[in-house]
């Protein structure tokens, strides 16, 4: 099983490496970049939601903190993107700690409300602090990421960069899930009462995983801002936070591969639904509804079911 895990990661990395041989259109490559960025955010959120069972409707705000900190520090203070990136992580950790300690005492709907409120507060701040953030219209001309003489200025270069970051975070989180800490996280989801009776410091661990998932969201926010080179508050508003939750649920809770599926579907779907023009939102909602109704375990569950059906079919023949 352990070997299996590494092999599937390797196969996935190989597919990514070869993908640009077949997809050369910059538009499609940019879609793949966005899928990579959102897959990273979703992975972090899944650690909190799917594995630990703690909902957050404010993760768009952490994405925003990462994006804005990277943007502001590189544009207005001319700092290198790497320094801005680290500063964004530090700021995110501090904010996540301050929010996490009081709000993770809450459970279920109350936790959802608290994190929703946090996301809204951040968004109001981004709109109001015009001098710092450019207000509702945001700001642009954010520089590309640069490594020495290598500037990540094309879709292809950024594609590789984002997915390398993805693979690194994927491996780290996958290791974490299959460890003592990962089991403790899942035990909190299963029964917090029994988890504490087993010696798991649930209160502390929940805050730690909240910070961790916020940091992952911040990383993806920084990646986003250096690709799009523009940021405004609508990028990280409540709707985006809810979209992230949808990506986790549609992909499959507590399934790390589901993050890619969820992020991919919800990124690609609106692009294809443009043919429906004004009715795209209705079709979009309907498709999501069907998925949740018939695949409560998300797309990853659908894949697992299809796989076992095929195998059963084969062994019969």
Partner 1 sequence: MSDIILESLNIRKGFGGVVALDNLTFLIARNTITAIIGPNGAGKTTLLNVVSGMHAPDRGTIFLNQKTISGLKPHEITRCGLARTFQTAQIFGNMTVLENVMVGRHVRTRSGIISSALRLPRMRREEPVTREKARFYLEMVGLKDIADKPAASIPIGSQRLLEIARALATEPEILLLDEPAAGLNTQETRQLGTLIRTIKELGITVVIVEHDMELVMDISDEIIVLNYGKRIAEGKPVEIQTNQEVIDVYLGKEE
Q: Which residues bind partner 1 (CB under 8 A)?
A: 172-173, 175-176, 179-184, 186-187, 189-191, 193-202, 208, 212, 254
Q: Between 155 and 192, whose beta carbon lies closer to partner 1?
A: 192
Q: Between 7 and 198, whose beta carbon lies closer to partner 1?
A: 198
| Least distance CB 263 / partner 1 (angstroms) | 21
CB crowding 139-157: b at 16 or more within 10 Å, else e = beebbebeeeeeebeebbb
At a CB cut-off of 8 Å and minimum separation 6, what does 269 contact? Answer: 284, 287
- Candidates 58, 48, 41, 210; CA nearest to 119 is 58
CA distance 72 to 84: 8
Task: Tell me, rounded to whole angstroms, the distance of Cα 35 from its chain centroid.
Answer: 9
| Least distance CB 216 / partner 1 (angstroms) | 12
Where does residue 269 rank: exposed (0-12), middle (13-18), buried (19+ CB within 10 A)?
middle
Q: Between 188 and 223, whose beta carbon lies closer to partner 1?
A: 188
Q: Between 7 and 121, whose beta carbon lies closer to partner 1?
A: 7
| Least distance CB 244 / partner 1 (angstroms) | 21
Where does residue 125 rank: exposed (0-12), middle (13-18), buried (19+ CB within 10 A)?
middle
| Least distance CB 193 / partner 1 (angstroms) | 6
Q: Between 195 and 249, whose beta carbon lies closer to partner 1?
A: 195
| Least distance CB 190 / partner 1 (angstroms) | 3
The CA angle 266-267-273, to the nearest 5 degrees, is: 80
The CA angle 139-89-132, to the nearest 5 degrees, is: 30
Q: Between 154 and 175, whose beta carbon lies closer to partner 1?
A: 175
| Least distance CB 233 / partner 1 (angstroms) | 32
């Amino acid at each position: 099983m352990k070997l299996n895990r590494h092999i599937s990661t390797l196969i996935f990395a190989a597919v990514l490496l070869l993908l640009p041989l077949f997809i050369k259109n910059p538009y499609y490559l940019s879609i793949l970049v966005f899928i990579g960025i959102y897959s990273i955010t979703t992975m972090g959120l899944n650690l909190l939601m799917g594995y630990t069972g703690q909902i957050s409707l404010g993760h768009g705000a952490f994405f925003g903190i990462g994006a804005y900190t990277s943007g502001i520090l590189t544009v207005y203070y001319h700092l290198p993107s790497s320094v801005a990136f680290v500063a964004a992580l530090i700021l995110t950790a501090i904010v996540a700690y301050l929010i996490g300690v009081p709000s993770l005492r809450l459970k279920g709907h109350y936790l959802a409300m608290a994190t929703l409120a946090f996301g809204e507060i951040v968004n109001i701040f981004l709109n109001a602090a015009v001098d710092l953030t450019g207000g509702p219209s945001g700001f642009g001309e954010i520089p590309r990421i640069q490594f020495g003489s290598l500037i990540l200025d094309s879709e292809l270069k950024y594609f590789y960069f984002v997915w390398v970051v993805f693979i690194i975070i994927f491996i780290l989180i996958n290791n974490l899930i299959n460890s003592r800490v990962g089991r403790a996280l899942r035990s909190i989801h299963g029964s917090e009462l029994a988890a504490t009776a087993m010696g798991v410091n649930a209160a502390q661990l929940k805050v730690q995983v909240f910070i961790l998932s916020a940091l992952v969201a911040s990383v993806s926010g920084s990646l986003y801002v250096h690709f799009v080179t523009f940021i405004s508050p609508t990028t990280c508003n409540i709707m985006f936070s809810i979209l992230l939750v949808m990506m986790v649920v549609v992909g499959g809770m507590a399934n790390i591969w589901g993050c890619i599926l969820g992020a991919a579907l919800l990124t690609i779907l609106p692009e294809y639904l443009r043919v429906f023009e004004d009715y795209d939102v209705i079709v979009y909602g309907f498709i999501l509804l069907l998925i949740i109704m018939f695949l409560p375990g998300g797309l990853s569950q659908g894949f697992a079911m299809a796989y076992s059906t095929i195998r059963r079919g084969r062994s019969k023949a």
